[in-house]
Amino acid sequence: MTAIAYDPSRLLTDLWTTVGGLQMYARAAYAPAPARRIILVHGLGISSRYMLPTLVRLARQYCVFAPDLPGFGRSQKPRHALNIERMADALAGWMNQNGLEHATLLGNSLGCQVIVDLAVRYPQSVDRLILSSPTIDARARSSLTQIARVIADAPREKFSLNLLALSDYLEVGIPRVLATLHHALEDRIEQKLPAVDVPTLVVAGQRDPIVPVSWAAHVASLLPRGRLVVLPGCAHGTNYSCPDLLVGEVERFLIETV
């Protein structure tokens, strides 16, 4: 008899939840109880689609969810772009609606700003945090600098990620992306980090021009229970371009912080 390889992507479920009058979409992969619940939170303008490489690897032993925040992906679009606090409110409401309190949250880029804000204002919802390429570098707090860094990052990523991101940006609309960038620039993550009282792993890509290793190290130093790891050869989208390295560090972190 030929063995059938385990493929978590076949187990993905579409999950729709109404939060604050808006429909939120999420990809979900369920594991038998009492598996740890991990929630993956996407970055600026892009949908949870680019979380799939990390999702399917984590789904081998965890329950994993990847929601689209309101305004992005398949989730409903509010009239105006939400700021970081309102996105965190929506995520907390989505978690509550689905019984996912006290979960591990993994964010990439702007997703880190959302989950840090959530951890500070909804501490009962969070068990662990993983901040992969956490924005915004306080030394580069301008739209032009951030856009220049995104352009510099593009050739360092997989071409398929650039195509996916471009498709998502065009679907969402550039005005909403730019409005969300403005909200991200106003958010001072560095002022919130000292109040995050859960074990937190900060992940930096060695070749990331958007979040240099020096900024990621500063983020880790501000966290009461933070630690830093650097992924060699990786750029900004570690969850897509370096999923095996990222998941290896996440699994090690979860084991060591039980």
* Token code pair at residue 91: 């995520």
Confidence at residue 10, expressed as pLDDT on a 0 to 100 scale? 55
Domain 8-256 -> CATH class: alpha beta
Confidence at residue 131, expressed as pLDDT on a 0 to 100 scale? 98
Residue 3 CA, distance from chain mean position = 34
Query: Could you tell me which of 34, 33, 42 has the C-alpha nearest to residue 65?
Result: 42
Contact status, residue 200 vs residue 124, Cβ threshold 8 Å = no
Contact status, residue 81 vs residue 71, Cβ threshold 8 Å = yes
Confidence at residue 5, expressed as pLDDT on a 0 to 100 scale? 43
User: Residues in the chain, how many?
Assistant: 258
Confidence at residue 90, expressed as pLDDT on a 0 to 100 scale? 98
pLDDT tens per residue across all 258 residues of the chain: 333 344 555 578 999 999 999 999 999 998 777 778 999 999 999 999 999 999 999 999 999 999 999 999 999 999 999 999 999 999 999 999 999 989 999 999 999 999 999 999 999 999 999 999 999 999 999 999 999 999 999 999 999 999 999 999 999 999 999 999 999 999 999 999 999 999 999 999 999 999 999 999 999 999 999 999 999 999 999 999 999 999 999 999 999 987
Beta-carbon contacts of 158 under 8 Å, excluding residues fewer than 6 positions away, are: 237, 240, 241
Residue type, 216: A
Task: Give the SS3 label for residue 189.
Answer: helix
Confidence at residue 47, expressed as pLDDT on a 0 to 100 scale? 97
Contact status, residue 158 vs residue 241, Cβ threshold 8 Å = yes
Task: Give the SS3 label for residue 105.
Answer: strand
Task: Give the SS3 label for residue 55.
Answer: helix
